[in-house]
Structures are given as C-alpha cells and as structure tokens.
Amino acid sequence: MNSHLMEILSREIIKSLPTEQREVYEYVVRLEDDLAQQAETSDEFMSLLVKHSPHRQAARHFKLTFGQLMALMREAENFINQQLEIKLENITWIDLTEQVNSRKKNVNDKIKYFYFSVNEVHS
C-alpha cells in the first residue's frame, strides 16, 4: 500500500479521536518527529528518545501521570490500528493508466491514473 495513502487514512482516523486523546497523541507524535528530524541514524534517534522522553514530557504538559499517558496512548494507537485495518479491507484501488492513455493523443509516461475509493463500513 502506498505510504502517502496510509498517511492520509491515518490523519483522517486521528481526527476522529476524542479531543483530549487526539491532542495528547498529536503532541507525542510531534515531539517524536522533531527528534527524528535531528537524528541521522536510527541508533541516534533511539538515544534521543531515551534522553528527551517525549512521553514523560507529554505527561507533564497534560498534567497526567506517566501511566495515565501511556494508557491513553495505547488506547489511541489501538483505535487507530483497528480503524486503519477496517479501512484497508474496504479500499478499492484500480490502476487506470492504460485506459486513460489509450484515449489521449499526447501521453506522458510519468503520469499514473488511479481510481481510489474507501467504502465506509457502519456498525
């Protein structure tokens, strides 16, 4: 599956989290992303995670215990993963490049055309 598509679907799911949970989740992810930008290797990133502890920073920021924050993050991550799995099971992704190009006079080989649909499942 395309990483950009995964990112789009994940953002949509994250937006559906309850406000407090979404704010905490986004705060931690932002701190982790900042550290990832500073690191040149995965070992350096892991070292920065240990040194700066984004989860402890977030717990202080949101006035939660470390355990409360970790439980909230686990719950958010479980929800995101479950929803992502459901969406991925209900995706239609069809490469229409050949069909579109067969109808065009000037064909650009660098352009791809896709039909993409996510069938919503309501329970």
pLDDT tens-digit profile, the chain (123 residues): 578 888 888 999 999 999 999 999 999 999 999 999 999 999 999 999 999 999 999 999 999 999 999 999 999 999 999 999 998 888 888 889 988 888 888 888 789 888 878 776 554
The pLDDT of residue 34: 97
CA-to-CA distance for 34 and 114, rounded, in angstroms?
A: 33
Please count the other Cβ atoms lying within 10 Å of the Cβ belonging to residue 89: 9
pLDDT given at position 60: 98
| The model's pTM | 0.76
- Amino acid 1: pLDDT: 57
What single letter denotes the amino acid at residue 114? Answer: F
Q: What is the largest CA-CA distance in the chain?
A: 64
Q: How much is the pLDDT for 122?
A: 56
The residues spanned by each domain of the chain are 3-89
**CA nearest neighbour of 29 among 43, 41, 13, 40:** 13
Predicted confidence at residue 89, as pLDDT, reads 86
What six digits make up the tokens of 48?
A: 């920065």
Evaluate whether 122 touches 97 at the Cβ level (below 8 Å).
no
26: CB partners within 8 A, 6+ apart: 14
Phi, psi of 118 (to 5 degrees): -115, 115
- pLDDT attached to residue 121: 58
pLDDT value of residue 104: 81
The two three-digit tokens of residue 27, written as one number: 């705060």
